[in-house]
Structure 1
C-alpha cells in the first residue's frame, strides 16, 4: 500500500499541467467501441487551452504523464451529452493528481439519442462505465498510472443516475409510469410517454408491462454495480425511478448536488426525493436560483450559439463561480473518500 500512496504524495504538490488523450472503450451493449478521453496529471505546464470541437480545454494533447499510481474518476454525461461536456471538472481533478476518464454513452449522446428510455441506455450506461474502468486498468499506457483501489465516479443528470447505479442503487423502471400518470405536465420527463405507449401497444403490452419486462432484464448486459468504485459525485441525478429501498445495498459515500430551480428534473421528485433515502450521504448542496444546465461546463461563444438554452443561466447565477465551488467540492470529496493525502 505504501508503494501506491507514496507516488501520489510525492508528486501531487508539484503538478503544473494536464494531458489529454483519446481512448476507445468497448461497449458491452452494442458490441462496438465508443469514444472517450483520458485526462491525466503532467509536469508539462498547460499553455492556454486546446480547441477540441466547440470546447476550449485546459489540457495538452498527449503531454507526458506524471509517473505514479493516481486515483481514477470516471465522468458520465447526461442525455444527449458528450465526453467533453464536463471537461473543466476533468481537467481540475487531473491538475490535482487524478486520472479522469470520460466516454460517450452510445444511443444517448449528442449524435444519437435513439436509446433514451430503453433498456440499452437505462441498464447499459452503468455497464459502459464499468467497461471504461476495465479498459483503463488493462491498457498498457494507463494501468501503470492508476491506483485500482482508489476509483470514483461522477455524473450529471442521466449520468448522475448512472453514478448511483454504479455504486449499487437499484432502479424501479415502472416508476416512470406512475410518475407520468400524476405529472403529465412535466414535458421534460413525460413528453415521450405517448410514443412509449404506442411502442408498448405494438408489442401487445401496456407501458406498465413494458417497463416491468425491462426490469426483469436489468442485468442483460452485465452487473450494473461495480464494487471497484468507492465514491459517487451525483449532479442533478435522474432519481424518479428510485424507491424507498433503492439504496439499501449501497455502501459507498455519495455527494448529492442539485439546482434549486431545475425544471428538467424537478428536485422534489428527484434529488430531494432521494436525499433522505441515501444512508451513505456524504453531503448535499443546492445551487441557488440555478437551472438544470448549470452543471455543464461554462460555454464558449461557439457552443453558446449552438445550444443557447443550455448555455444560459437565470439572473443571479454565475456558472463560472458555481463550477469553481463544485470542482473544489468534488476534489475534497474524492480526496476524503478515496483516502488520498493532500501533500
Structure 2
C-alpha cells in the first residue's frame, strides 16, 4: 500500500514538473517571439513628437519612413517588459529612425524607448542647432519622461525612478548634461578660438570646409566672427533630473564642458568613441571626457569608425560634406554594430535593473 502511494506521488510530481517545464518553455517562446512596437505621442505647444519603441506581442509588418525600411508592429498594444524607460536624444538634424537598431536591442531586453524631437534641430526643422538647442534639450528630455509617464498606454508598465539616457553627437552633449555636466557657450568659443583649424567642422558645422587654399584664411576669419557672436554667453548651463540613473554618450560634442563637473558623475556614465571621427575630433571631445572622468566606463571603442558609425541604420546616399562626415570609412566593418548595440543595452541593464 505504501509503495503504491509512493509511486502515485512520484507520478504526480513528474506530471507537475512536466507542466512546469512546458509552461516555462511556453513563456520563453513567448518572450522570444516578442515584437517591437512603434507609436508616437503627439506634439504639444511646447514640444515636438515623441517616438516610442516598445515590447509588444503583435506581429511586425514591413513599413517605411522616408528612405528607411523596417519591420515593426505599428500602433500595437504594448506589453510589460522590464518596467524601465530609456530616452534617446538624437544628433543635430536627426530623426528617430537612425537609432532604430539600437532601440530594437533595448526593446528586446524589455525596455521602453522614447525619442523626443528636439526643437529646431531635427530632420523636419534644422534652423537652430548649436548652443540654443543644447540649452533646451535637457529640459525636453525631462518633459519627454513626464509625457511617457502620463500616457495611459505606458504608465501602468513603467516605474520612472530609474531612467536611462542615451545620446549621440549633439545628443551626446545632452547625455553629458543629464549626467551632471556643466557647460557654457563661451567655453566653446574659447575652444574654437584655440583649435579652429584642427576641429573646424565641429566649430562651423556643414556650412563650409577648409581646402588648403588661399580662401582658408578668410573662412577661419568669418567663422570666428560668427562664433564670437553666437557663443559669447558665459552663463554655465546645468540640468538635474533625479530620475536619471544611467547615461551613455556616443561620440559626444563635449569641448564646451567644465571637465571638473564630469570628474565624478552622480550616475554611471558610459562612452562610445570612434577613432576616425572627423566631425568631433576625439581629442577635443570624447577623449577629454574619458581623461577627466574617474568613474566613466568605455562601453565601446570603434578604432576605424567615423562620426556616423552609431547611426544605425545609416542614412543612404549621403554626399558632399555631409557624406564625408557621416559615411563609413573604407575600413570600417559595420557588421560589428549589433554587438555595440548589445554592449550599450547591457550597460543599461547593469545599472537600471540591479
**In the alignment, structure 1 residue 211 sits paired with structure 2 residue 233:** yes
Partners of 1:90 and 1:239 lie apart in 2 by: 24
**In the alignment, structure 1 residue 225 sits paired with structure 2 residue 225:** no
Partners of 2:263 and 2:142 lie apart in 1 by: 21
**Residues 140 and 84 of structure 1: is their aligned pair in 2 closer, same or farther, counting only changes over 3 Å?**
same
How many pairs were matched up?
309
> 2:80 corresponds to which residue?
67
- Whether the 8 Å contact between 2:181 and 2:258 is mirrored in structure 1 is no
TM-score of the superposed pair, with normalisation by structure 1: 0.82
Structure with bigger gyration radius: 2
Aligned Cα RMSD in Å?
2.5
**In the alignment, structure 1 residue 126 sits paired with structure 2 residue 141:** no
Partners of 1:33 and 1:282 lie apart in 2 by: 32
**In the alignment, structure 1 residue 314 sits paired with structure 2 residue 336:** no
- Whether the 8 Å contact between 1:259 and 1:267 is mirrored in structure 2 is yes
- Whether the 8 Å contact between 1:41 and 1:94 is mirrored in structure 2 is yes
> 1:166 corresponds to which residue?
178
- Residues 31-53 of structure 1: CA deviation (Å, up to 9, x unaligned): 53301211110123435x42122
TM-score of the superposed pair, with normalisation by structure 2: 0.79
Q: 1:184 aligns with which of 196, 200, 207?
A: 196
DSSP-derived class of the 1:51 partner: strand
Partners of 1:152 and 1:99 lie apart in 2 by: 10
Partners of 2:288 and 2:263 lie apart in 1 by: 15
> 1:144 corresponds to which residue?
156
Cα deviation for residue 64 of structure 1 reads 2.2
DSSP-derived class of the 2:261 partner: coil
**In the alignment, structure 1 residue 243 sits paired with structure 2 residue 261:** no
**Residues 196 and 164 of structure 1: is their aligned pair in 2 closer, same or farther, counting only changes over 3 Å?**
same
- Whether the 8 Å contact between 1:25 and 1:135 is mirrored in structure 2 is no
What are structure 1's unaligned runs of at least 5 residues?
1-9, 202-206
What are structure 2's unaligned runs of at least 5 residues?
1-26, 206-219
